[in-house]
Structure 1
């Protein structure tokens, strides 16, 4: 049965999350399909940012303890708000740093090479910044990254098989760092299974949640995950350069941070100015420096929306709208050189759709000229992210029709097949 524009309109009417579109600034005559790289600004995020600016204006330095959201406790308060999204206790989550800084902190804290158990396990499809950080930490510890970073290979260049990862969990592995969702293909790894296998082998395991936080539910504490880290500017709509987040399982509370700094202090001791650190007895211990208040503030408003919408409802719509997109792509773009590059099984697919084409970079440029904002990933991937909170089914329908028009009219031939500086 062919899908039609009427199906898209019907699905929008049935969508319980449709009302949240009004919360976001959506540019007229534009379809935003890049929420998995940078989420749109919400009116609530704007409001809470302006509130923090006003606190600065009204209170000056007293904004640390007075105002709408006292800055001194802001990272902890946001951690409490974010904890349900990762399936953790409130004190196991802190909003701090950035993805790479938090990874450095966590590896510096939990990588404890001993004897032959000295290698770190990752994968060849992970985001490069994670690899750079791991290589750096291995070098700091006196190990050659060429021998001590073990990367699990992909069988097809798109996906990872859990069996291959488990097979690589040898008695030489001290630490495992894996993505929750692969940034190109959108594959969800079986975190529960991988964590259980790591625990059996007494290997600590941590996850990069950049492409899953705000898009899928997690149960980090229940699964026994040791630690995780993520950015908040993608599905969580925290804004460009938004402060990141990290999770540490409470079984590790009391572990001295590998990279110490004064904001990791126990709160009541922080301003004693002693030269002996008294770490916080929570995930707050793994903060380093003063929080970036104006990059934290938008999350206050954004997380209000997530609490109201519910991550389970967000996941349900995400699966449905991405499924609608995939079926439309199959229906409308047959025999035009495209391949679906993400898992088709709902249990293995994250919050975006990957479309492969040899002319992907040129097609992305043509899409932008037609008012659709996609994302290109080398060498040949067009990532399209219909976001549950603000993308409509009608926009998905229109996006696919525009793609079809670009191919029929060969509009992509007007552009060079190379990425922009920022892909």
Structure 2
């Protein structure tokens, strides 16, 4: 669609920032005034509230010692449940269906160990070929623990274009041999948002349990896990939820599965009133808390107290509204300013199929990412040719998006990227 030149101007970007109802939240975060951070889909920035609540928990440890488990502003014994209540509106589950525990991969192991029950011809697990590697490693190892060959019993739905997965292809792969399905809510490379509700209904119509990896959607996209009747889900909290590097993970278990014994039992999965009886007879909690294994990582959880307060104030619906608008604005600028420079937008453009980041493809992607960093723009590289750019609704401005595209244009016109090797860094 043809637009007036003003639409692509710096002044227009500034005007959008003035109209942004979420603009005040930017001041909550520690921002480097000399750079633009577009990697919040890998690691979110530190907020002042997250820092405050982390220090409050550290102070409780300092002043109360072991009494911090039951005393103080944030008693540690109940902290996982407190954070579950704050997380519930973001995923559309009740607070007793959620627990903060472990890490993404640990929680996936727990959930597969619990829900994968091969029987008769139903022995296979279905995933997709574009899934995050750690999920695939976990599924392969779980199959091996059951004595199955992953090359025969792990179905990975093929992509037609190496970017996205068609829901029709997923449904077609739901055969009588499938016992369990694990899919991402949003594909980590292309940013495609799957139709969670449809896929859940299709799986259940065939007697298959289904769970979702929400790492690239929770905190950016509203979910309705209970309404959609999803069996289980799991996610990290250090991307859009800004909990800090290596922050604690979360899991969701639909209440219809309450009472199911966890595949991997541990003492913090006990009923809280009986946990310290120290009996060798495990009595699991009657909630998602049963799926905890070990002692909560209290210092890892502490920043989330403050971070989730921000989400409660901002609301996930308003965050999604801005996210869709600012990513559409960025795509519009890319198509206007970078035409003929070898770039391809690899993410879906439809609002209903797009997550929170832009997938920009280029054969020189690794070199361009290094040039962007030299220009004080922090992107994310995914081999072999993807530049991921995430304008995070809480703290990215429209001016920063405009400026990023202008700097990209300069990098390409001046061939600044040619000074770098087209290889990734150790951490990408």
TM-score, with normalisation over the residues of structure 1? 1.00
Residue number among 149, 158, 162 corresponding to 2:167 in the alignment: 162
Q: Hey, what does 2:27 align to over in structure 1?
A: 22
What are the superposed Cα offsets for residues 283-311 of structure 1, whole Å, 9 maximum, x if unpaired? 00000000110000000000000000000
Q: Distance in 1 between matches of 2:374 and 2:230?
A: 44
Residue 82 in structure 1 maps to residue 87 in structure 2: yes
Residue 314 in structure 1 maps to residue 319 in structure 2: yes
Q: Hey, what does 1:400 align to over in structure 2?
A: 405
Show the 5 A alignment for 1:163-178: 163-178=168-183
Query: Which consecutive residues of structure 1, in runs of 5 or more, have no partner in the other structure?
Result: none
What are the superposed Cα offsets for residues 196-220 of structure 1, whole Å, 9 maximum, x if unpaired? 0011011000000000000000000
Q: Hey, what does 1:150 align to over in structure 2?
A: 155
Q: Distance in 1 between matches of 2:243 and 2:27?
A: 17
Report SS of the residue matched to 1:150: strand
Residue number among 213, 228, 233 corresponding to 2:233 in the alignment: 228
Residue 376 in structure 1 maps to residue 378 in structure 2: no
Shift of 1:67: 1.0
Q: Distance in 2 between matches of 1:70 and 1:20?
A: 27
Residue number among 125, 133, 146 corresponding to 1:128 in the alignment: 133
Show the 5 A alignment for 1:250-269: 250-269=255-274
Query: Which consecutive residues of structure 2, in runs of 5 or more, have no partner in the other structure?
Result: none
Residue 277 in structure 1 maps to residue 272 in structure 2: no
Residue 246 in structure 1 maps to residue 242 in structure 2: no
Report SS of the residue matched to 2:220: coil
Q: What is the root-mean-square deviation of aligned Cα atoms in Å? A: 0.4
Q: Hey, what does 2:121 align to over in structure 1?
A: 116
Shift of 1:28: 1.3
Residue 389 in structure 1 maps to residue 363 in structure 2: no
What are the superposed Cα offsets for residues 39-68 of structure 1, whole Å, 9 maximum, x if unpaired? 000000000000000000110000000011
Report SS of the residue matched to 2:179: strand
Q: Distance in 2 between matches of 1:316 and 1:390?
A: 14
Q: Hey, what does 1:291 align to over in structure 2?
A: 296
Q: Hey, what does 1:193 align to over in structure 2?
A: 198
Report SS of the residue matched to 1:239: coil
What are the superposed Cα offsets for residues 171-198 of structure 1, whole Å, 9 maximum, x if unpaired? 0000000000000000000000000001
User: Runs of 4 or more off by more than 3 Å in structure 1?
Assistant: none
What are the superposed Cα offsets for residues 392-411 of structure 1, whole Å, 9 maximum, x if unpaired? 00000110011011001100
TM-score, with normalisation over the residues of structure 2? 0.99
Shift of 1:251: 0.1
Residue 58 in structure 1 maps to residue 63 in structure 2: yes
Q: Distance in 2 between matches of 1:336 and 1:64?
A: 58
Residue number among 99, 106, 120 corresponding to 2:104 in the alignment: 99
Q: Distance in 1 between matches of 2:207 and 2:311?
A: 35
Q: Hey, what does 2:416 align to over in structure 1?
A: 411
Aligned length: 423
What are the superposed Cα offsets for residues 310-338 of structure 1, whole Å, 9 maximum, x if unpaired? 00000000000000100000111000000
Report SS of the residue matched to 1:63: helix
Q: Distance in 2 between matches of 1:4 and 1:194?
A: 42
Report SS of the residue matched to 1:175: strand
Q: Hey, what does 2:367 align to over in structure 1?
A: 362
Residue 207 in structure 1 maps to residue 212 in structure 2: yes
Shift of 1:349: 0.3
